[in-house]
Amino acid sequence: MKPEIITGAEIVIRSLQKESVKFVFGYPGGAVLNIYDAIFKQTQFKHVLVRHEQAAVHAADAFSRATGKVGVALVTSGPGATNAVTGIATAFMDSIPMVVISGQVPTHAIGQDAFQECDTVGITRPCVKHNFLVKDVNNIASTIKKAFYLAATGRPGPVLVDIPKDITAEEAEFIYPKTISMRSYNPVIKGHTGQINKAIDLLVNAKKPMVYSGGGVVLGDASESLTNFVNELEFPVTSTLMGLGGFPASDSKFQGMLGMHGTYQANMAMQECDVLLAVGARFDDRVIGNPDNFLAKPKKIIHIDIDPASISKRVKIDVPIVGDVKNVLDEFILTYKDIKKTHDKSITSDWLKQIKEWADKDCMAFKDDGSQIKPQRVIQMLHKVTNGDAFVTSDVGQHQMWAAQYYAFDKPRRWINSGGLGTMGVGLPYAMGCQLAFPDSQVACVTGEASIQMCIQELSTCKQFNLPVKIINLNNRYMGMVRQWQEFFYGNRYAESYMDALPDFVKLAESYGHVGMKIEKSSDIEPALKEAFGPKLKERLVFMDFITDQSENVFPMIASGKGLSEMILAEDL
Amino acid sequence: MRHIISLLMENEAGALSRVSGLFSARGYNIESLTVAPTEDSTLSRMTIVTSGSDEVIEQIIKQLNKLIDVVRVLDLNDGKYIERELMLVKVKASGQYRDEMKRISDIFRGRIIDVSDNTFTIELTGATSKLDAYIDSLDNDSIIETVRTGASGIGRGDRILKI
Ligand SMILES: Cc1ncc(C[n+]2csc(CCOP(=O)(O)OP(=O)(O)O)c2C)c(N)n1
Ligand SMILES: [Mg+2]
């Protein structure tokens, strides 16, 4: 066979096709013009032109969160790359598999302070799983292969490939490696059998067991395995913000989310349990608060995680199990089946009664006399109108917490938000990524009037690509989460947290060619949502501006640095 | 506690900055860091001298292992090891100092490698603590300039870091 000699740019495209990429989210510029020319000549994947590189990376990130596949973004050198950094850091903090290709100035110009030059590999180094600068056209294909492999395996994460312009113009033979192996990178998949036996032994003898499920369960597609295992043992379960949907919220064993805005019963049970099974979670500060306080109550902790560095990082672990969470949980089920007969489930009955008592406090109740729109009610209605089956993206703030608390997620990969970095502005680009991945599904973007303005330009992208996203703007005329902290911890001094000079969101949406709605009465919530999600507006983006109660706060709340049992409840105020 | 960590990494551009970046980003101490290619030119070997509680050292080892370019990591303090550092010291060697400098250098098995009317340059190798002791034994005023390589370490006997 004659060797196939093509340009570096064509090698990039062919490599992406080999990886079965369906969408590339990007924005052109000088350093990537060769690549864009090659995109022009191909039809296998679709290029989605965003209006800001940050949104390209967020959309690729959401595509990955919703589908489990590797998202792909393409940006130019210099400002294109720096604009992408927020998106890359956001994906990195939540371990999202993604490949970002950036253009670079020609190799001979590197280091000359050339036009649109920046040290992209240097700038992104601390917020990628790995990155590469390709200096030889013969290495493009193998580097892209490595990038996809690294992004998707082990603890996933974004990988950046920086390609100088001259390298995309040079020619080479196209050989895409079938497999890759790296002597320096061998993630552990299978858990240690001895450790698994130890864990099962602890679990069946636990009087006060608790399961703490994290984002790793969603990312590792371990939801079904976790559910099966928990159903066998009949243990109570809580989930982190990132893990929502990993275990069905409608199951009576589910105690709600834990952490800073977790439920009373979940946080109390975390604190008081005697054996804790942590699955794909990392004991971060927003989840367990102060580690000393958390450990004040002695407990045995079993931790399953793909990343050895996540184990015993903030809290000392008694039974560490490094491995793929799904693989390990399936092993758990098999091991448990052998000793099932000897498991006396009644030893947990006092504990379950105790949890029930905590739950009876009904910490999620909120006052609603119908005089104003309560944000919590909007989310409950959203759940009702979408049958709990929508993809829900959110921005960052109070609205994010209400979406997490009141949209009971029964399936994984439906709740798409920035938990680790907490990036305002992700909501709309996240909705774009989901809608492109699932064109026939309902996609709701729950946002706030401050957050939505951080990537509002993407309304234009939604128009171009006919993305019928429904935007649920919980408009409280405040940076609500900031205001809440100022109310609680800064003597009501609302420094710069007021959103003044807001646009008319209805007109704004209309000017982009979308449908706008302003909802001011509580009784209008449901009919408006029904209309927006109804058949008439099925094909349209609808921007729903809900004018909500300005003074509403998120409860329960644990002040930062405090312990899990030190919650502030709505009724305490 | 002070730990000496040895690691093998791919000899790639930027590999060193991944390691140094990790230490600064996570707030770990670095007392010294040395690096050079090995007999296999695709690999570099690095010796990092750091300090921290057992938990911090455990995290450092895990985080180093997590770097994609890092092939193997060994905490030399987990067993028996040898450590050596090279130091060059330029000292005043005029008048009353000249004999004194020669004498102290001999005690520490230093070698005088350059001589001028007023100075000696002395080469000294040994564990970091030995070099520290040498510096301590000199009158501060007599030291003109010092340069140290940072420690390199290797396991004793069968303790081998190789792929
Ligand atoms: C890019 C970015 N800048 C600042 C913050 C800090 N921050 C967190 S929540 C918040 C206010 C969000 O206001 P809004 O979008 O209106 O949501 P609300 O809390 O009112 O529901 C701010 C400023 C952030 N998370 N991200
Ligand atoms: Mg707001």
> pLDDT at residue A23 above 90?
yes
Residues 6+ apart with CB under 8 A from B157: B80
CA proximity to A227, closest of A200, A202, A250, A246: A246
> pLDDT at residue A357 above 70?
yes
Tell the burial category of A297 from Cβ atoms under 10 Å away from its Cβ (0-12, 13-18, 19+).
middle
Predicted confidence at residue A573, as pLDDT, reads 67
B63 to chain A: which residues are within 8 Å by CB? 309
Q: Tokens at residue A385, please?
A: 């109108």
A235 within 8 A of A204, measured Cβ to Cβ = no
Q: Tokens at residue B12, please?
A: 């790639």
Predicted confidence at residue A526, as pLDDT, reads 98
Tell the burial category of B102 from Cβ atoms under 10 Å away from its Cβ (0-12, 13-18, 19+).
middle
Predicted confidence at residue B86, as pLDDT, reads 98
Q: What percent of chain B has pLDDT over 70?
A: 100
User: Tell me: the pLDDT tens digits for A136-178?
Assistant: 999 999 999 999 999 999 999 999 999 999 999 999 999 999 9
What CA–CA distance (Å, rounded) separates A303 from A233? 17
Closest ligand 1 atom, residue A375 Cα: 21
Sign of CA dihedral A284, A561, A415, A235: positive
What CA–CA distance (Å, rounded) separates B146 from B128? 14
CB contact under 8 A, A121 and B21: no
> pLDDT at residue A318 above 80?
yes
Ligand 1 contact via A399 beta carbon (within 6 Å): yes
Predicted confidence at residue A519, as pLDDT, reads 98
Per-domain residue ranges for chain B?
2-79, 82-152
Q: Mean pLDDT score of chain A, rounded to an integer? A: 97
Q: Is B83 strand, coil or helix?
A: strand
Over its C-alpha atoms, chain A yields an Rg (Å, rounded) of 24
CA proximity to A436, closest of A29, A65, A148, A97: A65
Predicted confidence at residue A3, as pLDDT, reads 84
What CA–CA distance (Å, rounded) separates A156 from A95? 5
User: Tell me: the pLDDT tens digits for A516-546?
Assistant: 999 999 999 999 999 999 999 999 999 999 9
Residue A351: HSE in the Cβ half-sphere, 13 Å Cα cutoff = 23
Q: What is the mean pLDDT of residues A227-241?
A: 98
The reply to whether domains B2-79 and B82-152 share a CATH topology is yes
Please, what CATH class does the domain formed by B82-152 belong to? alpha beta
CB contact under 8 A, A184 and B13: no
Catalytic residues of A: 53, 115-116, 165, 481
Ligand 1 contact via A68 beta carbon (within 6 Å): no
pLDDT category at B96 given cuts 50, 70, 90 is confident
Q: Tokens at residue A46, please?
A: 């679709």
CA of A497 to the centre of ligand 1 (A): 9
Q: What is the mean pLDDT of residues A373-392?
A: 98
Point out the residue among A121, A185, A308 whose CB comes nearest to the CB of B68: A185
Tell the burial category of A454 from Cβ atoms under 10 Å away from its Cβ (0-12, 13-18, 19+).
buried
B18 to chain A: which residues are within 8 Å by CB? 125
What CA–CA distance (Å, rounded) separates A270 from A275? 9
Residue A409 sits at φ, ψ, to 5 deg, of: -80, 125
Ligand 1 contact via A332 beta carbon (within 6 Å): no
Give CA separation, A405 vs A253, A399, A487, A560, in Å: 16, 10, 21, 19
CB contact under 8 A, A309 and B25: no
Q: Tokens at residue A300, please?
A: 């045995």
Ligand 1 contact via A417 beta carbon (within 6 Å): no
Predicted confidence at residue B61, as pLDDT, reads 98
What CA–CA distance (Å, rounded) separates A334 from A321? 16
- Per-residue H/E/C for A149-198: HHHHCCCCCEEEEEEEHHHHHCEEECCCCCCCCECCECCCCCCCHHHHHH
CA of A511 to the centre of ligand 2 (A): 22
CA of A494 to the centre of ligand 1 (A): 14
Termini Cα distance of chain A: 78
CA proximity to A565, closest of A160, A294, A174: A294
User: Tell me: the pLDDT tens digits for A28-65?
Assistant: 999 999 999 999 999 999 999 999 999 999 999 999 99
Predicted confidence at residue A101, as pLDDT, reads 98
Closest ligand 1 atom, residue A449 Cα: 16
CA proximity to B35, closest of B154, B130, B148, B151: B151
Q: Where are the alpha helices (DSSP H) in A273-317?
A: 285-288, 291-295
CA proximity to B67, closest of A314, A507, A154, A39: A154
CB contact under 8 A, A133 and B21: no
What CA–CA distance (Å, rounded) separates A381 from A387? 9
Point out the residue among B9, B17, B65 whose CB comes nearest to the CB of A125: B17
Give CA separation, B44 vs B6, B14, B34, B156, in Å: 11, 12, 10, 20
Residue A248 sits at φ, ψ, to 5 deg, of: -60, 130
CA proximity to A157, closest of A359, A421, A347: A421
Ligand 1 contact via A196 beta carbon (within 6 Å): no
> pLDDT at residue A560 above 90?
no
Is the preceding omega at residue A97 within 30 degrees of 0, hence cis? no
Q: Is A69 strand, coil or helix?
A: coil
CB contact under 8 A, B71 and A183: yes
Size of interface A-B (CB pairs under 8 A): 37
What CA–CA distance (Å, rounded) separates A184 from A130? 12
A315 within 8 A of A339, measured Cβ to Cβ = no
Q: Tokens at residue A428, please?
A: 């709309």
Closest ligand 1 atom, residue A476 Cα: 20
Predicted confidence at residue A561, as pLDDT, reads 87
User: Tell me: the pLDDT tens digits for A247-273?
Assistant: 999 999 999 999 999 999 999 999 999
What CA–CA distance (Å, rounded) separates A150 from A510? 43
B55 to chain A: which residues are within 8 Å by CB? 312, 316
> pLDDT at residue A499 above 90?
no
Fold designation for B2-79? Alpha-Beta Plaits (3.30.70)
